[in-house]
Structures are given as structure tokens and as C-alpha cells.
Amino acid sequence: MSISFHVLLGDRDGVGMEDANVQAFERVYEVTHRLFSSCDLNDTIAAIVDVAVEWVGADYASVILFDDQGRISYEVENLSNIKPLSKRIRSHGITNRIVSSAKPVFVPDTLSHEETNPELRKSGVRSYVGMPLTVDERVRAVLYVYSTGSHTFDKHKEMLTIIARFAELAIKNADLVQNMKALATRDGLTSLYNYRYFHERLSEEIKRTRRSGGQLAVVFMDLDDFKLINDTCGHPSGDQALQHFANVCRCSVRSCDVVARPGGDEILMLLPSTSGDQARMVVRRIQEALKGNPLHFADCDEQCQPVRLTVSAGIAVCPDDSTDDRELIRIADERLFAEKRAKADALSARKSRRLWLRNA
């Protein structure tokens, strides 16, 4: 990214070249420090708004962020006398034009610009600029600066372009850090949390539960006959079954709950402020969801019937069973094994009874 120092300095008549270069570098350092001081994406977006307002003399600014599917994922705006940007976006409006074209829009006077949203005029905005913030060849966000005066940004086009380039780098940096954090805490196949993260959260929640005098439940589950799926339909079908199992579990719990895959076909759930009876209700909800959503394996023969996955579960409750994190997991695992053994014994008994009836 090339930087025009004369743009960063403005009019500096009478200032020596060396002093001018020092001041230019100081401004570059200032903007990079502010935009890159946090690796949190939300903090980065807020910093972009602040920098844009200060550097071009804007009265207001906003940034709207889009996810991989083009949906609005976050926004920051310091316009308080107007409904949020996400609520005033129109299907054929300026924002969608910027996203589709990846080109900025400069509006020197809203009174003579028919495409301007009437909401902006009502709020007193007379001029504004919309800048696409492109990351990896995709418009990741749109930056707007607004002024109550007309033609405010006529002399700031280069400066806005520079701010946009810095903003793009800052967003990309925050995205990379966020992705690295996700890789460190998530399972690659199911996107559930990994065992390390689960164990850390469990330790934290036990401490909180002991302080508050409440309860928490640990649920250990695995798929019944998972080996049969792998052996009969192949490992890709096994992976599909695990992903389906994970999605059902994820959709069956609260946002405060933690769902993790420690390995194989096992899933661990941490349910804060939950009793044993409440945890059993969650397990039943998962079992019913699996029963009501049979899975057709993509790699199986077309005549293969959809499979209804079933699961076994063991539950341990803090503080009733233990206040030690590893002990809670061990107890839940033992109860899971006991349930699977009971199912196997019941199946064996049914087979023996059918055989006896046949030979009677």
C-alpha cells in the first residue's frame, strides 16, 4: 500500500522536508496504532469509525460488516437521531451498490442526489461518502462518513482512500486472529469446541457454581452402533453422522452451554445452572430430534433407507456427584458406559426370547 505523505500532512507551507516527513510518519503511526491496537473485530470496527470522523472532519460515521454469506453481522454508528444503518438499507440503495460494485460513492449534496435515502436528509446529513472495505477480493464492510454541510469531503477523497486501505488491513488482521483462536478451540470436523476448551470452561463454571451455591450438569454422550455405520457405509458416512449429531446437539442447548467433541463419536456438554432432571430433559430433546430427522448418507446406495441415529448418555451433577472437574467427567463417562451395557443386555435378551419362541 503506497501512502501519499502530502495527503497525510495537508498544506504545510514553510515546514522543512525533514520535519514534514517526521510528521507524516507520526500520523501513519497514530492511525496504525489505533486501528491495530486490538485484535478484537468489534473493537477494530469501532476504531475505524473514530479515526474516520477525526481525520476528515466528519460529523458522523458508520461501518457495516458482512459475513461470508453477505449477511449483516455487525455494525457501529455514531448517528443517534436516525434508525440503524442495517434497518435503513434498501434492496436497490447505495449500500448494495457499493457491495456489488466494490466502488466508492461520493455524494457532495444530498438535496440534489435522488438516490440518497430520505432518512439521511431528515437527520440533517447534507453530504456523505461510502467506501467499500475489501478483504480477500470481497467487500467485507462498508465505511460511511457523513457531514451536515454540503461538499465537506470534496478535498478528502485521497485521505478517505488511505483510511479505507488501513481499515481493510485492520479488519483482515482481526479476522486472521479470530480464525486462529477458532482453530485452537474448535474441532475441525464438527466445529464444536475441543476437549481442552471444554475442560477450561468446566473448571471456571465449577468455581462459579461453588460461589453461587447452584448446580451444573456434565453430559457425556455417544452414538449407538457408530462402528456399524463406518463398517457398512464407509468413513465419509460416519463423518456425516457425526456432523448431524453435532448440529442437533448445538441446536438443542442454550447459548451459555458448551458442546464439545473430545474425540471419536463422543460429545460432552457443559450445562451451567442445570439440575440432573433438567439435563435429562436436554438429552431427551436431542434423542427426539435425532429420531425425527433421519439421515440419508450421501455415499450410500440410492436404495439405502434413511437412518435414525440413537445415542446413549451419562450425566453427572456438581456438587451432588463431585466438585472436581475430572471426577465429574469420569462419573458421566461411567454412567454412559452403564447405559450402553444395559442397552446391549436388553438387545441380547430380546434376541434370546425370539430364538426361544421360534424353537418352542
Q: Identify the pLDDT of residue 296.
A: 83
Q: Identify the pLDDT of residue 129.
A: 96
pLDDT in tens, 204-232: 999 999 999 999 999 999 999 888 888 88
Mean pLDDT of 160-176: 92
Mean pLDDT score of the chain: 87
**In percent, how much of the chain has pLDDT > 70?**
87
Q: Identify the pLDDT of residue 347.
A: 58
Of 59, 187, 222, 265, the active-site residue reads: 265
Closest Cα to residue 4, out of 122, 135, 161?
161
Task: Give 3-26 as a 3 state SS string.
Answer: CCHHHHHCCCCCCCHHHHHHHHHH
CATH topology classification for 5-185: Beta-Lactamase (3.30.450)
Domain with CATH 3.30.70.270 in the chain: 195-359
| CATH, domain 195-359, list 2.30.31.20, 3.90.380.10, 3.30.450.20, 3.30.70.270 | 3.30.70.270
Mean pLDDT of 318-343: 94
pLDDT in tens, 243-252: 999 999 999 9
Q: Identify the pLDDT of residue 212.
A: 93
Q: Identify the pLDDT of residue 207.
A: 95
Q: Is 265 a catalytic residue?
A: yes
H helical segments located in the chain? 5-9, 17-36, 41-56, 85-88, 94-101, 118-122, 157-185, 195-212, 226-233, 235-251, 276-292, 325-359
More confidently predicted of 15 and 117: 117
**In percent, how much of the chain has pLDDT > 90?**
58
Q: Under DSSP, is residue 265 helix (H, G, I), strand (E, B) or coil? A: coil
Domain with CATH 3.30.450.40 in the chain: 5-185
Mean pLDDT of 82-101: 85
Q: Identify the pLDDT of residue 228.
A: 86
Q: Identify the pLDDT of residue 87.
A: 79
More confidently predicted of 81 and 9: 81
Q: Under DSSP, is residue 268 helix (H, G, I), strand (E, B) or coil? A: strand
Q: Identify the pLDDT of residue 16.
A: 62
Q: Identify the pLDDT of residue 15.
A: 53
